[in-house]
Amino acid sequence: MKRKLAAGAVLSATALLTGVIQVSTAAQATPTPTVQAQAAQHRAGLIALANGQAGPLTGALGLGGQEALVAKDAVVDADGTRHLRFERTYAGLPVLGGDLVVHQAADGAVKAVDRAVAAQITVPSLTPKIPADQAAAQASGAVRSTVGIAADKDESPLTEVRRSGAAQLVVWAADGSPRLAYRTTVEGVRADGTPSSRLLVTDAATGRVLSGHEQVQTASGTGTGVFVGTVPLTTTQSGSSYQLKDASRGGQSTSDLKGRTSGSGTLLTDTDNAWGDGTAANRQSAAVDAQFGAAATWDYYKNTFGRNGIKNNGVGATSRVHYGRNYVNAFWNDSCFCMTYGDGTNNTNPLTALDVAGHEMTHGVTSATAGLNYSGESGGLNEATSDIFGTMVEWSANLPADKPDYLIGEEIDINGDGTPLRYMDKPSKDGGSADYWSSSVGGLDVHYSSGVGNHFFYLLAEGSGARTINGVAYDSPTSNGSTVTGIGRDKAAAIWYRALTVYFTSTTTYKTARAGTLSAAADLYGAGSAEYSAVAAAWSGVNVN
């Protein structure tokens, strides 16, 4: 994927080649700490606003006496309309699947509520039949039983389960039958070196696994060297050398793991501020791609939606390069707030393509907003969201070295024959993804069920039928034989982002995603607009009615 500078920001190519990078306009100047502090203070104020409404809303929404709301996020429209996102607790315990979004008029009147589960929560007993240490041991045993078996089709099998965290008592409500449960994190390592951090929810009465999901979300492939070509970088001078650290984007930085599989690595430095030479043999080259990918993702969300970093808190992520040995993978991990890249086959093919960066870092955005569960239809929507915005980062950057398209992973050549990992115009061309919704979609691997969301987005952006875009030929069909007219990728992305941040919850399905994106289209363009009608037509085109 690619990165585009803010309008008016131009970096001197001559200065770049000689090692002195200068920003020609104030648009790219390093924000002062006061500006960053103001942004953080503004968000804190919105969260405080939401928490201030939590008590009154608990009663107004008809929640039970042992239920409470805890603010997670807040969005306030220009007209004062508020969209307050809450997690729910029951008797002080976190409720998994109890999240909701309250939509208020400017005067505080509740207009609508989107809930992950609709019913008032009641739990028969708050006394677990299984002690916490036994629950942790059972969770670890459940993961150990999968050693040698891949959880998802694009993941390698577990070879080691290292340890289990303490089991936390929670209320499980995601399936509509609230019960007391334990939440346990079990860590391990996969055969290809990928770290594993599986979050398991087990019934506190029986020990049965209710849910399990891998928190380290990966994108597999083989690299072909430097992907972005010669690009501008914002760095930090420290004494007589420079650090690969960007103060203008929340301090995000890139470090060298030097073949290790743990730790934060060593921050990359350079004496002349001219980084890498475009070859994998130069350890800085992969770091250039990684740092640029992080900047591209930051800039897209900032310039398009005003989002101040992945968590919207002004904090930049860390990128780690040269992970492990012969590691043919890359992954985002929310727990370390970091993006990690292997060096590929023979340590000569770093997986630092921009679409990998945009896709994986978007998992962080989803985690900070809707929190879409990584299984079933919500898991497909989670993956589709990353494909959608990874693609938008690519179009925003518009680099000559990697022309933007609606192909996923086209640069990393995961199949070894030049074909992409996924296709948005007709997802089934990859041999496994779903073009249209059916009742069996939720049972697919999330990377294949995402095809429905990817296809919807392509139809909404570009329309159905055959066409050539930016030199790539596409031919997108519809399930009902209808003709869909696209509204353009920018409007399509705006609708999806608003739905993600304002209407989607952890248990959103394709049916409720249709409702959420229609609400988003009505908010942005009007309920009688062509954009609203296009959203409905595109969903019908993928059999979501």
Q: What integer is the mean pLDDT of 499-516?
A: 98
Assess whether pLDDT exceeds 50 at residue 412.
Answer: yes
pLDDT of 332 > 80? The answer is yes
User: For position 223, what pLDDT does the model report?
Assistant: 26
Confidence of residue 3 (pLDDT cuts 50, 70, 90): very low
522 has a pLDDT exceeding 90: yes
125 compared with 459, residue with greater pLDDT: 459
Q: Work out the pLDDT band at 25, boundaries 50, 70, 90.
A: very low
User: Residue 455: helix, strand or coil by DSSP?
Assistant: helix
Identify the pLDDT of residue 13.
Answer: 20
Given this model, what pLDDT does residue 54 score?
93
**264 vs 143, more confident:** 264
Spatial separation of the C-alpha atoms in residues 403 and 356, rounded to whole Å: 15
Q: Point out the residues that are catalytic.
A: 360, 447
Give 467-492 pLDDT, tens digit per residue.
Answer: 999 999 999 999 999 999 999 999 99
pLDDT at 121 over 80: yes
* Residues 423-444: b if buried by 16+ CB within 10 A, e if exposed: bbbbbebbeebbbbbeeebbeb
- 53-77 residue pLDDT tens: 999 999 899 999 999 999 999 999 9
Between 191 and 519, residue with greater pLDDT? 519
In the 8-state DSSP scheme, what is residue 470? T
Mean pLDDT of 137-155: 74
**Could you give the CA distance from residue 308 to residue 311 in angstroms, rounded to a whole number?**
7
What is the model's pLDDT at position 18?
A: 21
Q: Both tokens of residue 113? A: 């509520």
Give the torsion through C-alpha atoms of 87, 167, 360, 522, to 10 deg.
-20
Percent over 70 (pLDDT), the chain: 88
What are phi and psi for residue 334, nearest 5 degrees?
Answer: -65, -30
Q: How far apart, in whole angstroms, are the C-alpha atoms of residue 179 and residue 168? A: 14
**Mean pLDDT to the nearest integer, 75-99:** 94
Please tell me the predicted confidence (pLDDT) of residue 197: 83
Report the distance separating Cα 344 and Cα 326, nearest Å.
5
pLDDT digits (tens, 9 = 90+) for 336-386: 999 999 988 888 888 888 988 899 899 999 999 999 999 999 999 999 999
**What pLDDT is recorded for position 28?**
33
Q: Is 49 helix (H, G, I), strand (E, B) or coil?
A: helix
* Run of H or E residues at 472: strand 472-476
**Cα(297)–Cα(352) distance, integer angstroms:** 13
- Average pLDDT rounded to a whole number, residues 419-438: 96
**Is residue 224 scored above 80 in pLDDT?**
no
Mean pLDDT of the chain, nearest integer: 86
Q: What is the mean pLDDT of residues 266-275?
A: 89
Q: How confident is the model at residue 301 (pLDDT cuts 50, 70, 90)?
A: very high
9 has a pLDDT exceeding 60: no
Q: Helices 446-462 and 530-541 meet at what angle, rounded to 10?
A: 140
What pLDDT score does 256 carry?
96
pLDDT at 229: 84
Q: 435 or 420: whose pLDDT is higher?
A: 435
Helices within 479-542 (DSSP H only): 489-498, 510-525, 530-541
pTM beyond 0.85: the answer is no
Q: Choose the most confident range, by mean pLDDT, from 259-268, 322-331, 352-361, 456-465.
A: 456-465
Q: What integer is the mean pLDDT of 400-418? A: 87
User: What is the percentage of the chain residues whose pLDDT exceeds 90?
Assistant: 61
Judged by average pLDDT, the poorest of 76-90, 241-255, 514-528 is 241-255
pLDDT attached to residue 15: 19
Q: What whole-number distance in Å separates Cα of residue 319 and Cα of residue 267?
A: 10
- The helix/strand/coil state of 215 is coil
Mean pLDDT of 393-397: 95
In angstroms, rounded to a whole number, what is the distance separating the alpha carbons of residues 21 and 16?
Answer: 5
CA dihedral 52, 58, 61, 67 (to 10 degrees): 150
Handedness of CA 300, 275, 28, 253 (dihedral sign): positive
Please determine, for residue 329, whether its predicted confidence score (pLDDT) is greater than 90.
no
Type of residue at 511? K
Lowest mean pLDDT among 16-30, 267-281, 400-414: 16-30
Q: Which two tokens stand for residue 59?
A: 């009663």
Residues 6+ apart with CB under 8 A from 534: 460, 484, 485, 486, 487, 521
Residue 167 one-letter amino acid: A
The tokens for 164 are 């289990």
Question: Residue 154's pLDDT is what?
Answer: 60
pLDDT at position 404 over 70: yes
Residue 29 has pLDDT above 50, yes or no: no
Q: Which residues, 6 or more positions from 113, have their beta carbon under 8 angstroms from its beta carbon?
A: 61, 100, 101, 102, 103
pLDDT of 22 > 60? The answer is no
* Phi (first) and psi of residue 452, to 5 degrees: -65, -45
